[in-house]
Chain A
Amino acid sequence: MTIFQFGTVRRSNNSHLLGKRIWPTFRCHVNQILGLSLILIPITAVSLSDFSLQMEKLDSPEWSVKGLLLSLTQTSQQLSFKSTLSKFDHQALAGSVKGIEFRCAELQWHQQSYLCKQGILSIAESPFGAQQAQVTFNYIDSTQFEIELSGLDIAAGGLKLALKMTQSGWQLKIVGERLNVDQFNALMPAKLIPQDWEVGTVLSLQAGLSGVASTLQQVDLTADIKQLNYADEEGLQVAEGGSGELQFEATRTESGWFGSARLELDQGQFYSDPYYLDLTQSPLNLSLKGGWSAKTNQLQLQQAELQLLPVVEARGRAQIDLNTFEIQSAAISYETAQLGELYQTIIQPKVIGSMADELQIAGGLSGEIALSPAGLESFRTQFKSINVDDNRELFALHDLDGLLAWSKQGTDEVSHIEVQSGHLYQIPHGPLSVQLQTLANGMRLLKPLDISLLGGQIIVDRFETKNLFHGSPEWETGAELNNLSLQQLSSAFDWPALSGKLNGKLPKMHYQDDLLNFDGALKVDVFDGEIEVKHLKIKQPLGRVPELFAAVEMQGMDLEKITRTFSFGHIEGGLEGWINGLHLLNWEPVAFQAQFNSPEDDLLPHRISQRAVDNLTSIGNGMGGSLQNTFLGIFKEFRYNRIQLQATLDGDIAELGGLDHPDGGYYLVKGAGLPRIDVIARNRRVAWKTLVERLKNIRVEGMKVR
């Protein structure tokens, strides 16, 4: 109930109907006052020549009016209308509207309606500033009229309104030109935009709204967006210099609304943490079509399309609960011919800090995914001529094609990946053909994988991953290494040229929590002997600081071939040895216990060259070349009984040893025959750095000591 308080209503002397003083106070409902002035006109107009109505105050919980004055003046030529309001307040406005005056100099009576073609609305003061607008109206009665306002100057732009009321409903058209949304928002007491957001844009819009009584039935909006800039408080959602167009239309249905929207952004930089888009070169197009249910507050997108070229094109449908903004279900298909762009824009920002954040990718893919409130339900992706190169040069895969299909419920579809070439570290490999069966939380190899590598092959007989999507991912595999060429291996790592073959059987390799564990042993057939690597495990194999642990045994090696390979100086004889507790950090040794010695029952001749003696001496004491200064310098080779070198490294200190000498010290080389030469070292402890320096300083040819 709203109370209207009237002051006095004066009448002219010749008024027929209002010829007596009416009520000093009057009460009626709010909606009855809106057309009050014109409601009165038809009643009085026939004989009215001078009429005025004055009200001191009119209010409701939402709004109030003060100082209302309506006056009609009839002259012999025309009827004129004037209405003034001293003050108008509404809770939706940021301040009072004062000094409102509407004047229609010529109010025409035409075909049962009042027509005003050149009305003027002026406002002295308002949150939108002073206004001067042109008004036209055509009024039949309170259920049938048309009114147009133009020339409103709002938020640095212009605004035009046109309202048409018929017995079947109403239509409102709004045309805004270059409206500054920032200024508009500042004028609104209930902010359309959160207070901690900075938003600025210039909007030109055309909107059509229609309805019946107080019910909106249809909305049609086209908005041209310029200079779009926004930022939230933390800078997680930002736009700079955006522009585009928004089209939206919706119609009320029995259950809610149904409509479509299309957004095209063709300029600007956008950041939605962690994604960044620069639309200067190519626009973003998003179109949606679907309905909203009032009962469930769910959005049913029947058709959604996103085009962000050349990054990705995606389309699909989805059901979204607007209470929780949770996806109830979604089926999306996607395609890109520029996977590199997709990686840079969508994937890389999500994987920063992982091993996948520094890749160069090219190629294309297409596929589908299905989502539920629980997350990913299924995906199916087709790979098309993809090249992947790790910028750290840890691995590469070239010409990758295939299909990867996965479903939470399991799928019978076989996934397959074909790769033409690639490398792991610096070791190149040949074509790969992988057939996989995906599982609910992992995948497994369907048939053994044959990898051509280093002139030989690696046969991976099984491979299975677990906890791929939930929990701590792990995988297990078994492999057999056949005749890998040491010559090619040494070439790949820029080592001195080795000859021989690498063979091995690794029945179980297991990876979990950054630890790769090897069961079985690698066997290296080299220098006519065999090196066996056991108890191998690697922590963070592709990490920042990889760690390797292993034990090594070697036997039956020919020193003549070793020394020829490393140009250490000529030594003939056999060699065997072991390395226990080998610990490499970042591929540098930090701990081991090792021994290399001549076999007890060695049948090979034992001869050592002067240069090899010098080099062994320099390892022992850092000084070489001493033999040349003695008479032994004339001998180029010597016979020896036994060579033995022990070394223990723990941190930065190495402890050296050999065959114990009765008088202290230890033999590195125990000589035999004449001229006999013994290399006896006295110092056992040496800084590892020093020992490495000694190794670097020995006279080797063609060997790069790192």
Chain B
Amino acid sequence: MIKQTVMLRSLFGYVLIALSLAACVTINIYFPAAAAEEAARVIVRDVLGDEANPEQNQDAPPDSKLDDDQSYYLFDNSKLTSVAEALLNFVVPMAHAEQPNIDISSPSIRKLRASMTKRQSKLTDFYRSGALGFTNKGLISLRNLKKVPLKERNRVKKLVADENGDRNALYAEIARANGHPEWQQSIRDIFARVWIEEAPVGYWYEDVKEGWKKK
């Protein structure tokens, strides 16, 4: 009975090791969250300009920088055998060492950034009044139409449509310019958080659980 238990444990250990070794292959295909966040913060601060949240620690690494490798957390929470952990620890740093930077210098990205920066001054008053807010999808939304004077409403709607068009194109283009179109959703998620973090006090944003909130 004891022998069977030992055998089962060994078998279980081998399976875990095999699984972890197989899983290790995926580590090389990771999303550089820290670099993406850094790029997002550069762009967001550039677009928001003087509006960017002055209370945000400019140098402090965001918490998510620990999340360099999204796939890392798949393992971090797993209870692996010591052998598997050792193998994992061996592989993960290598993956980190190869982490590429996020390129945000392509002509299209520059054009989109310039377009958004130019538009920002037209949006500021509406962000401040609460007419517009940052959504959790990395876009902006006309959250309170009543805050917009009647004759301004269609102009603001167009600004929102144009801004969201630029933002959607920006996320797609950053993913494409970095050779990974499939990163678009991850880049959007990071931008969604950074827009909100960088927004100054008084701006409205969409909380996933609680809906619209004011900073």
Instruction: Enumerate chain A interface residues (CB-CB to B < 8 A).
Output: 231, 234-236, 238, 240, 269-271, 273-274, 276, 278, 348-349, 352-353, 357-358, 544-545, 585-586, 588, 590, 650-652, 689
Most buried by A among B107, B165, B177: B107
- Docked CA distance A590–B177 (Å): 8
Write the nearest CB–CB distance from B135 to chain A, whole angstroms.
16
Interface residue stretch chosen among B4-12, B57-65, B81-89, B151-159: B151-159
- Docked CA distance A537–B142 (Å): 36
| Smallest CB gap from B156: residue in A | A352
Write the nearest CB–CB distance from B113 to chain A, whole angstroms.
13
B103 at interface, CB cutoff 8 A: yes
- Docked CA distance A650–B176 (Å): 11
B179 at interface, CB cutoff 8 A: yes
Write the nearest CB–CB distance from B83 to chain A, whole angstroms.
39
B173 at interface, CB cutoff 8 A: yes
Pairwise interchain contact B151-A353, C-beta atoms closer than 8 A:
no
Pairwise interchain contact B154-A651, C-beta atoms closer than 8 A:
no
| Smallest CB gap from B158: residue in A | A352
| Smallest CB gap from A588: residue in B | B107
A-B contact list, 27 entries, CB within 8 Å: A231-B146, A235-B146, A269-B151, A276-B150, A276-B154, A352-B154, A352-B161, A353-B158, A353-B165, A544-B112, A544-B165, A545-B108, A545-B112, A545-B172, A545-B173, A585-B108, A585-B173, A586-B107, A588-B106, A588-B107, A590-B176, A590-B177, A651-B177, A651-B178, A652-B105, A652-B106, A652-B177
Count the A-B residue pairs with Cβ separation under 8 angstroms: how many?
A: 70
Pairwise interchain contact B176-A585, C-beta atoms closer than 8 A:
yes
B166 at interface, CB cutoff 8 A: yes
**Which A residues touch B158, using CB under 8 A?**
352-353, 357-358
B111 at interface, CB cutoff 8 A: yes
Most buried by A among B158, B165, B178: B158
B201 at interface, CB cutoff 8 A: no
Question: Main SS of chain B's interface residues?
Answer: helix
Given A234-B145, A235-B146, A271-B150, CB of A357 within 8 Å of CB of B161? yes
- Docked CA distance A544–B108 (Å): 10
Given A352-B158, A585-B106, CB of A238 within 8 Å of CB of B150? yes
Query: Could you tell me which residues of chain B, from 80 to 112, have a CB within 8 Å of some CB in chain A?
Result: 103, 105-108, 111-112
| Number of B interface residues in the complex (CB < 8 A) | 26
- Docked CA distance A357–B173 (Å): 23
Pairwise interchain contact A271-B179, C-beta atoms closer than 8 A:
no
- Docked CA distance A270–B150 (Å): 7
Write the nearest CB–CB distance from A72 to chain B, whole angstroms.
60
Given A585-B106, A652-B106, CB of A544 within 8 Å of CB of B169? yes
Pairwise interchain contact A651-B179, C-beta atoms closer than 8 A:
yes
**Which A residues touch B103, using CB under 8 A?**
651-652
Write the nearest CB–CB distance from A9 to chain B, whole angstroms.
61
B144 at interface, CB cutoff 8 A: yes
Q: A352-B154, A652-B103 are in contact. List 15 more A-B contacts (CB 8 A).
A: A234-B146, A235-B145, A238-B150, A271-B150, A274-B157, A349-B154, A353-B161, A353-B165, A357-B158, A545-B112, A545-B169, A585-B108, A585-B173, A590-B177, A652-B105
Given A545-B169, A590-B177, A651-B177, CB of A689 within 8 Å of CB of B105? yes
| Smallest CB gap from B108: residue in A | A586
**Which B residues touch A585, using CB under 8 A?**
106-108, 173, 176
Given A234-B145, A545-B108, CB of A269 within 8 Å of CB of B165? no
Contact with A along B123-138 (1 / 0, CB 8 A): 0000000000000000
Pairwise interchain contact A269-B108, C-beta atoms closer than 8 A:
no
| Smallest CB gap from B152: residue in A | A276
**Which B residues touch A652, using CB under 8 A?**
103, 105-106, 177
Pairwise interchain contact B173-A274, C-beta atoms closer than 8 A:
no
**Which A residues touch B145, using CB under 8 A?**
234-236, 273
Most buried by A among B150, B151, B176: B150
Pairwise interchain contact B111-A586, C-beta atoms closer than 8 A:
yes
- Docked CA distance A271–B154 (Å): 10
**Which A residues touch B107, using CB under 8 A?**
585-586, 588
Most buried by B among A231, A240, A544, A586: A544
**Which A residues touch B173, using CB under 8 A?**
545, 585
- Docked CA distance A235–B146 (Å): 5
- Docked CA distance A238–B151 (Å): 11
Write the nearest CB–CB distance from A340 to chain B, whole angstroms.
15
**Which B residues touch A238, using CB under 8 A?**
146, 150
Given A588-B106, A590-B177, CB of A274 within 8 Å of CB of B154? yes
- Docked CA distance A466–B154 (Å): 31
**Which B residues touch A269, using CB under 8 A?**
150-151
* 4 cross-chain pairs, A with B, having the tightest CB-CB distances, nearest first: A235-B146, A353-B161, A235-B145, A588-B107
Pairwise interchain contact A235-B157, C-beta atoms closer than 8 A:
no
**Which B residues touch A234, using CB under 8 A?**
145-146
**Which B residues touch A689, using CB under 8 A?**
105
Pairwise interchain contact B108-A588, C-beta atoms closer than 8 A:
yes
**Which A residues touch B153, using CB under 8 A?**
271, 274, 276
- Docked CA distance A651–B106 (Å): 9
Pairwise interchain contact A276-B151, C-beta atoms closer than 8 A:
yes
Most buried by A among B112, B154, B176: B154
